[in-house]
Amino acid sequence: MKEEKTLKILELIKDGIETASVLIEAFLSAGYGASMRDMDRAVDKALSRRARESQEREERQRFYNLVYRLKRDSLIENKHPGEIKLTTKGEGLLVKLRLKSKNSLPPPKYKKESGGKNENRVTVVAFDVPEKERQKRHWLVSALKNLDFNLVQKSVWIGKTKIPKEFLKNLNDLGMVSYVEIFEITKTGSLKQIS
């Protein structure tokens, strides 16, 4: 039993545990006469606690570095201890970043759903997005491609995938509802593609 503990300690040291305090902590917390499994658990617990503490320290340091950079760039200032305020330059940047964020487009990837109980349903999406909003047009085309729609002719796409609600919400949020028409054909009848 004593040889097993000695072996375990030597293996841990060889595998890279550099801090003797981890071993001591594990040995003491496992207690006298502890089994190898108890020793393993105690070492794992000590290592995970140290890793968590190290990660928390790194996160705090990143936060302090960010605050330092914001102060250095004159975007924030300390009027009183513990009180941070935006400077005029910081408020200007905030307005600029909010505007940029507002104009950003959502990712064009959506979860694909089949037509459900009506598998023969065909969806047609036609749009006429103004040239000044070409980024939105490119986003719309990418989203339709990702939903497995196919180009029938310029600005007209056809597919059997059900249009996700999130896609419709994004169209509304982007102010594109007036540019896009979505039709659903449930009975194909005599409609055929000629070409």
Q: Which residues contact 30 (CB under 8 A, 6 or more apart)?
A: 38, 39, 41, 42
Residue, of 193 and 95, whose pLDDT is higher: 95
Place of tokens 């968590």: 52
- Residue 70's closest CA among 105, 94, 47? 94
- Tens of pLDDT along 62-105? 998 988 898 899 988 888 887 888 889 988 888 888 777 666 77
Judged by DSSP in three states, 77 sits in: strand
Question: Cβ(104)–Cβ(170) under 8 Å?
Answer: no
Average pLDDT (142-168) is 88
What pTM was computed for the model?
Answer: 0.48
- Give the model confidence (pLDDT) of 165-188 as tens digits: 888 888 888 888 888 998 888 776
Indicate the CATH number for domain 122-185.
3.30.70
